[in-house]
Amino acid sequence: MRTLALVSLLSCLLLAGCSQTQSRYSQRHDSAPTRLPTPAELQDAIPVPEPPSPQGNADYQVLGQQYQVLDSAAGFTETGIASWYGNKFHGHLTSNGEYYDMYSMTAAHKHLPLPSYVRVTHLENGKSVVVRVNDRGPFHPQRVIDLSFAAAYKLDMLDTGTAPVRVEAIEFKSPLQGHEYYIQLVASSNPDKLQKISAELPQDWQKLATTEQKNGLYKLLLGPYPQAQANRTLQRVRSQGFPRAFRVKSTQISP
């Protein structure tokens, strides 16, 4: 069994593998978190077609080195060494303007367009994970991808700090869809139970909460959301107390 003490000790070996911006971070060196990911946080990222992020997709320079950003992730594959990053960057902005969450299935890559979805396979144990690329890095020779703490844990690479991996872009066979989705949190035959759960939701969820009744079954839903936002929201609600939540197309909801 891995222990947090061992993880904390080994995390100091990963300093060179993490992104190299220091001035805006409160920690001088990176470190492991104080808890391991929950089962809900270990679910793969859900690939969904998304438009390019408004920032983070131009060619750039780091430490005097020029990096070119690919126009598309289609057909992309590579092998190399993966590392991971944790506490130092948690809660700080990623290259595409989102906030880094070390318990989300995300990653940093030097060349892939933001966002992209890739499958990362640990070449020594066969374990794999699907992550959403939303950041730049790692700026270290021979390292090809920086994984979130949760993704690294799922690949069973925390004890070694780095691992040989294969990175494969996930391609979409259909164009962007215009559907809207709801997130179903829970269902019950007892409407009072749903009302109690709804009243305990975070305030930003309560604004989008609604109920549906069909054949004596009451459903508590959030939404509607555009497809990309629905997928991100689904990952969030699964990690915050509703591991069995799922998407429902708006056309399937009774008016």
Give the mean pLDDT of 132-145. Answer: 93
- What dihedral do alpha carbons 3, 149, 171, 39 form, nearest 10°? 50
User: Per-residue pLDDT for 205 more than 60?
Assistant: yes
**pTM for this prediction:** 0.62
**Which phi and psi (to 5°) does residue 120 adopt?**
-110, 120
Whether residue 1 is predicted with pLDDT greater than 50 in this model: the reply is no
> 4: pLDDT confidence band, cut at 50, 70 and 90?
very low
Is the peptide bond prior to 138 cis by the omega test (within 30 degrees of 0)?
A: yes
Q: Please give the share of the chain, as a percent, with pLDDT higher than 70.
A: 83
Write phi, then psi, for 153 (nearest 5 degrees): -65, -45
Backbone angles phi, psi at 82, to 5 degrees: -100, 145
Give the closest residue to 235 by CA, choosing from 64, 45, 80.
45
Q: Are 105 and 235 in contact (CB under 8 A)?
A: yes
Please name the residue that has the structure tokens 């891995």. Answer: 2
Helices (H) and strands (E) in the chain, counts: 5, 12
The pLDDT-based confidence of 137 (bands split at 50, 70, 90) is very high
Q: So what's the pLDDT on residue 215? A: 84
pLDDT at 120 over 70: yes
Question: The tokens 């020594």 sit on which residue?
Answer: 124
Distance in angstroms (rounded) separating the CA atoms of residues 43 and 252:
25
Report pLDDT for 18. 41
Is residue 142 pLDDT above 50, yes or no? yes
> Stretch 16-24: mean pLDDT, rounded?
41
Which residues lie closer than 8 Å to 181 by C-beta, 6 or more apart? 223, 224, 225, 226, 227, 230, 247, 248, 249, 250
Q: May I ask the CATH architecture of the domain 180-252?
A: 2-Layer Sandwich (3.30)
* 28-73 per-position pLDDT tens digit: 555 567 789 999 999 999 998 888 999 999 999 999 999 999 988 9
pLDDT band at 21 (very low <50, low <70, confident <90, very high): very low
CATH classification for the domain delimited by 4-169, as one of 2.102.10.10, 2.40.40.10, 3.90.1070.10, 2.40.50.140: 2.40.40.10
Q: Is the pLDDT of residue 201 over 90?
A: yes
- pLDDT of the residue at 192: 93
At 56 the pLDDT is 95
Cβ-Cβ contacts under 8 Å for 150 (sequence gap 6 or more): 37, 41, 42, 102, 103, 104, 105
Token pair belonging to 121:
């396979």
Specify the pLDDT at position 255: 61
In terms of Cα–Cα distance, which of 102, 127, 106 is closest to 47? Answer: 106
- Average pLDDT over the chain, rounded to an integer: 84
pLDDT at 11: 40
Which one has a higher pLDDT value, 231 or 36? 36
Q: Which residue has the higher pLDDT, 25 or 78?
A: 78
- H or E element at residue 185: strand 180-188
Q: What's the 3-state SS for 4-20?
A: HHHHHHHHHHHHHHCCC
Segments making up each domain of the chain, as ranges: 4-169, 180-252
Looking at residue 28, what is its pLDDT? 59
**Would you give the distance in Å from CA 208 to the centre of its chain?**
22
